[in-house]
Amino acid sequence: MKQLSVAVLLLTMLTNSVIAQKKITSWNKNQVIAHRGAWKKNNLPENSIASLKEAFRLNCFGSEFDIHMTLDSVMVVNHDATFLGIPIAKSTYQQLLAKKLPNGESIPTLESYLKTGMTQKKTKLILELKPQNMGKERDLFLAQRAIEMVKKLKAEVWVDYISFSYDICTYIIGHMPNAKVAYLTGDVAPEKLKADGFFGSDYHYSVFQKNDWITPSKKLGLTVNAWTVNTVPEMEWLLANEIEFITTNEPELLFETIKKSPIQKGWKLKWSDEFNGKGLPDTKNWTYDVGGTGWGNNEKQFYTNADTANVMVDKGNLNIIARKADKEGMKFTSARIASRKKFDWKYGRLEVRAILPKGKGIWGAIWMLPTDWKYGNWPKSGEIDVMEHVGYEPDSVYGTIHTQSFNHSINTQFGKGLKMNDLYTAYHVYGVEWYKDRIDFFIDGNLYMTFKNSGKGSPEWPFDQTFHLLMNVAVGGNWGGKKGIDESVFPATLKVDYVRVFQK
C-alpha cells in the first residue's frame, strides 16, 4: 500500500510538471524579437531591465540580450566588452557597480535578468553568449556558467541560445540536448547546422538575400531568424519569404509592418527581384527589348541590349538610365527590360518600389503586357500601366488600362492620376492587385482606382491570360515629349528597389 501511494505521488508530481510546462509555453505568436530589449522608441538603455519589460509590454515573441563574464566570474548583461568605459572581463562585478545606466539601473546580472523574465510567460529570453576574445577555454567556461545559472533557476523553458561562436553553440548543444540553439555568424550552410544539432540559423538578413538558404532551412526543419532588421523594405521582404523570426531595434515598426503585410491577407510570394547584386540584371528574371523604332509612340531613344551604361544593378537598386548619346540614328539611349518568358503570371499582386526619373521629356513606366497576345495585337489583348510619369508633370503619376474598347487611340482609356510631391526623392510602392473580376491600383498600399470586369468579353476585359512586367525610361514620344525635351536633364534614372509578385 505504501509503495502504491509513493507511485501515485510520483505520477501526480510528473503530471503537474507537464501541465505546468504547458502553461508556461504559451509564447506570443508573432515574429518579433526585440534586439537588446525594446529600448529605442522610449530612449531606454539597451540591455536594461527596463528595456526587457518594455518588450514584455509590447508582446514581442522574444527579447534578445547579451552576456559577458567579469573577472570574478559574474555574468552580466551588456552588449559591448566594456561597460561605460570599464572593461568587463578585467574588472570585478563590484567595480562595475561604480557606474549606472542612464535610467539609474546598475548593470544587470544574468541572474536578475532571468528572474525578471520568469515573472511572465509570453516573451522568450534570447540569450546571446558573447565570445570573450580570451581563448576557447574562457568562452566555454562562460557557456558552462550560463547553463548552470539557467538550470539553477529552472529557466530552461524561457531561454533560447545564440552566439557568434560555433564552439559555444556546440558546447550548449552537447550539454543541454533539448536547448534551442542558433548560430549568428552566417558562414555555415543549413545542412551542417542540421547535422550538428542546431535549432536554427540566426543570420544577418543580407546573408539570406545573398544565399538561397531560407527554403532549404525550412525543408530541414530549422527555424530562420534574421538580424538586425530596422527598415520597412527589408522587413517586408523577410515577411514575404515567411521567415519565422526577425530581430529588430524597431519592434513597434515591425508590428505595424506585419499588420500591413500581404502575407496577412493570404498572399504568397511567387517571384521577386531584390536587386542585391552588382552589374547587369539577373538573366534568370529579365530580357531586353532592343531598338529605336519609336515603339508606336514616336519615342526618341534607342533601347540598348544589356549595356551597363543604360541598365545597372548597384547598391540594392536596379537603375534604368536614359542618356544623351548617339545610337543608330537616335540622339538618346535607354533600356527597357521585361520579365517575358522568365516570369509570366495570371492574377496576383504586383509591387514595385521605385524613385522616378526627373526632367521634361522623360517618360518613366512600370507596366504589363500580355505574353501570348491571346486576342490579337495591341490593344486587343490589353495593357496594364501600373505607373507612368511624364517629366513635364513633376507632381503627377498615372495608372491606366488599355483594351480594344478603352484605349488612348480613341480617347477612351480608363485611368487616373494622383498628385505627389516627392516622386524624385522618395521611394514609393506602385502596385496592382489583379483578380478575375477587377484590377485594383495602389500607391503605398492606398487604393486609388479599380477597373472592373464588365462581363462583356475580351474587348473590355482581355485580362484572363498571362501577362509579364516591363520597366523602362523613354525619351520624348507623343505623351512624354508633348512639351519638348530638356537636354540638360540627362542622365535620367528610374531607380527600383524591388519587384515582387504574390498570388493566393
- The set of catalytic residues is 383, 388
The DSSP secondary-structure symbol of 91 reads S
End-to-end CA distance of the chain: 63
Q: Which residues contact 370 (CB under 8 A, 6 or more apart)?
A: 381, 382, 462, 465, 466, 467
What per-residue string of b and e applies to 469-495 under the rule 16 or more CB within 10 Å gives b? bbbbbbbbbebbbeeebeeebbbbbbb
Burial (CB count <10 Å: 0-12, 13-18, 19+), residue 265: exposed
- Grid coordinates given for 15: 503530471
- Whether a cis peptide bond, with omega within 30° of 0, leads into 394 is no
The CB density around residue 504, as the number of other CB atoms within 10 Å, is: 13
Tell me the CA distances in angstroms from 400 to 353, 375, 403, 450, one per residue in order.
18, 19, 10, 10
CA distance 368 to 443: 16
**How many Å separate Cα 313 from the centre of its chain?**
18
